[in-house]
Structure 1
Amino acid sequence: MDEVITEQVEALRAFNRSYTRSIGLLEPYLDSTLSLTEVRVLYELAHRAQSAASEIARELGLDGGYLSRILKRFEARGWLERSSSALDGRQQLLRLTAAGQAEFAPLQQKSRDAARDLLAGLPTGSRAELVDAMAKMQHLMAPPGTSAAPRPRTAVLREPRPGDMGWVIQQHGEIYAREYGWDARFEALVADIAARFVRNFQPGWERCWIAELDGQRVGSVFIARKSATVAQLRMLILAPAARGMGLGARLTDECLAFARAKGYRKMVLWTNSCLTAARGIYAARGFVLRKTEPYEDFGQSLVGETWELRL
């Protein structure tokens, strides 16, 4: 090994030591009794509607036997359930239970809070420089044959800014008209909900998140205070260009983490039976369908649904 390579090796090792210290990998991870690997497995399960163990092992680079032991521990704690694949009965598909989602939610929030605290200590320009440097590292260290892959897209959730409410209303009007044929009365309903949220906003108990992808608005979600113990999830929407990336689930998880941190005991929401993607997100997190009601509105015959989740 020549002198240049030796210096490079030492530089990489120094970076590893600094990085693991900065993000707390030398301490109990996220103040949890779970190992870092177990938290990573839990993350993969929480962000997939269902998955085969082989997919998770491949994604995380884990030995199959080691992963199997982790999954058995999760199953014993009631966090995991298995089902047979409709395409291949020999293949077992994995899915987190409501208890598993509840276990994961505070860990995810702690991870985001830790990352936010780390970035908050840097000047604005340095944050952007750090994110760019990390993207470059990820690109350079991609496995052989994938090094030319495009730069990973950057998705962030942020608080609303002036103009965001108008965008949320516009997106609801355009997307629901295009995809479901709903008329302008739905856009008027959303405008009324957004206006009431802003006028009556309770900052200690309510939140809105705007999702951005590469700096462009692509989604939103709101959590409103329905009572002292009940939170309501509202106006979850995702632009077509941002679907399939787990952003809808991420927005929902932010609401759940916030509600639990505030001490709400229940979260409720109203949706429609035709919104299958959103309903899948809610069901995967343990929401239970409590009421259905056929009705006529927005130029359509619809079935309204009330869902709730005990927190």
Structure 2
Amino acid sequence: MDDIEQLRGFSRFYTQRLGLLGQSYLGSGLGVTEVRVLWELANGELSTAREIAELLGLDEGYLSRLLAGFEKKGWIARKPDPQDARRRTLELTAEGQALAASHDKASRAAVGAFLGRMEPDARALLGEGLARVRQAFQPPEHVELKNLAPGDAGWIVERHGALYARDEGYDATFEALVAEVMAEFIRTHDPARERGWVAWGDGRRLGSVFCVSRGAETAQLRLFFLEQEARGLGLGRKMLEACLNFARDKGYRELVLWTHESHAAACRLYERAGFEKLGSRPEREFGQDTVVVDYRIDL
């Protein structure tokens, strides 16, 4: 099953399990969209029809008709914006607030009952999975690079093992190699000339990169990777520049690295940054036939 069918299948699965397919959401007499608009008016920070349409991706004509129905039933009131007379803001009436609160209570009860039927381990797995799904749909807005800290090493080893097994078919020997590199760095690295960074965004780890010494004049880039949802945001370039700048500041004359030819995006990043491709060689490693590529750049 490809990723398109996986997502479509999951959509059909969860909408049925959460009772979202009926004409009336949780017996309220309202559809899912109507209940969501009520929720936004009660809990969100939006106050105009255009803002709600943009947030929810709704056609403005359809939303206008929906809101007219709310107004006719006495659930919302329209008021002039005190700061812009051309705009009309939306507010829930007391009746609308009570209705939104009753829907929220019913929804919490229904979801609580659903979760209550699950075993604790399954419930924990669901929570972790939902967090990862949300990460995939919502790229981080704020990213920063932090020095390696306690707890990071285990995450770096685990994510390298899982991602390269998924994307490249590598076996457990690759995870073992990453664990050995991390253990050596933690035990023996020179803080004055070597450093590891972990990229963080919106409270979660997104990737890593390391600069390690290979002599007085040569540094090596190692353990450079990004989570899927953090790619395409310019973060890889930012991490590479941090490593290059650190190596220059510490007096190294060159930075070297090796990667695999299959990592096409990484190879393009290195070449755009000015790295010289020294050559490539076929290897049998990590349970796969690979092509190792060597790069270097003068600092």
Q: TM-score, normalised by structure 2?
A: 0.54
Amino acid at match of 1:214: D
CA contact (8 A) 2:139 2:230 kept: no
Amino acid at match of 1:227: G
Any stretches of 5+ residues in structure 1 without a counterpart? 1-143
Partner of residue 250, structure 2: 262
How many Å separate the matches in 1 of 2:193 and 2:222? Answer: 14
**Cα pair distance change 1:152/1:201, threshold 3 Å:** closer
- Classify the secondary structure of the residue corresponding to 1:278: helix
CA contact (8 A) 2:219 2:247 kept: yes
Any stretches of 5+ residues in structure 2 without a counterpart? 1-49, 56-137
Deviation track 1:190-213 (CA, whole Å, cap 9, x = no partner) reads 111111111111011001110011
How far is the alpha carbon of 1:241 from its aligned partner? 1.3
Partner of residue 158, structure 1: 146
Which residues in structure 2 correspond to 1:1-311 (within 5 Å)?
153-311=141-299
Amino acid at match of 2:167: E
Q: Number of aligned pairs?
A: 170
How far is the alpha carbon of 1:152 from its aligned partner? 7.2
**Cα pair distance change 1:305/1:215, threshold 3 Å:** same
Amino acid at match of 1:298: F
How far is the alpha carbon of 1:180 from its aligned partner? 0.8
How far is the alpha carbon of 1:268 from its aligned partner? 0.2
How many Å separate the matches in 2 of 1:246 and 1:170? Answer: 24
Amino acid at match of 2:229: A
**Cα pair distance change 1:217/1:297, threshold 3 Å:** same
How far is the alpha carbon of 1:291 from its aligned partner? 2.5
How many Å separate the matches in 1 of 2:139 and 2:265? Answer: 27
How many Å separate the matches in 1 of 2:221 and 2:234? Answer: 18
Deviation track 1:87-113 (CA, whole Å, cap 9, x = no partner) reads xxxxxxxxxxxxxxxxxxxxxxxxxxx
How many Å separate the matches in 2 of 1:152 and 1:241? Answer: 8
Amino acid at match of 1:209: W
- Classify the secondary structure of the residue corresponding to 1:268: strand
Partner of residue 32, structure 1: none
How many Å separate the matches in 1 of 2:139 and 2:277? Answer: 40
CA contact (8 A) 2:278 2:295 kept: yes
How many Å separate the matches in 2 of 1:222 and 1:171? Answer: 15
How far is the alpha carbon of 1:266 from its aligned partner? 0.2
Percent identity of paired positions between Structure 1 and Structure 2: 43
- Classify the secondary structure of the residue corresponding to 2:175: helix
How many Å separate the matches in 2 of 1:213 and 1:239? Answer: 11
CA contact (8 A) 2:140 2:201 kept: no
How far is the alpha carbon of 1:161 from its aligned partner? 1.3
Deviation track 1:265-288 (CA, whole Å, cap 9, x = no partner) reads 000001111011111111011101
How far is the alpha carbon of 1:234 from its aligned partner? 0.3
Of structures 1 and 2, the one scoring higher in RCO (CA 8 A, sep 6+) is 1
How many Å separate the matches in 1 of 2:252 and 2:233? Answer: 28
Partner of residue 90, structure 2: none
Amino acid at match of 2:297: L
How many Å separate the matches in 2 of 1:160 and 1:204? Answer: 14
Deviation track 1:127-174 (CA, whole Å, cap 9, x = no partner) reads xxxxxxxxxxxxxxxxx99xx679971111101111100100111100
**Cα pair distance change 1:152/1:182, threshold 3 Å:** closer
Amino acid at match of 2:273: R
How many Å separate the matches in 2 of 1:240 and 1:151? Answer: 10
Q: Any runs of at least 4 consecutive aligned residues in structure 1 with deviations exceeding 4 A, and if so which?
A: 148-152
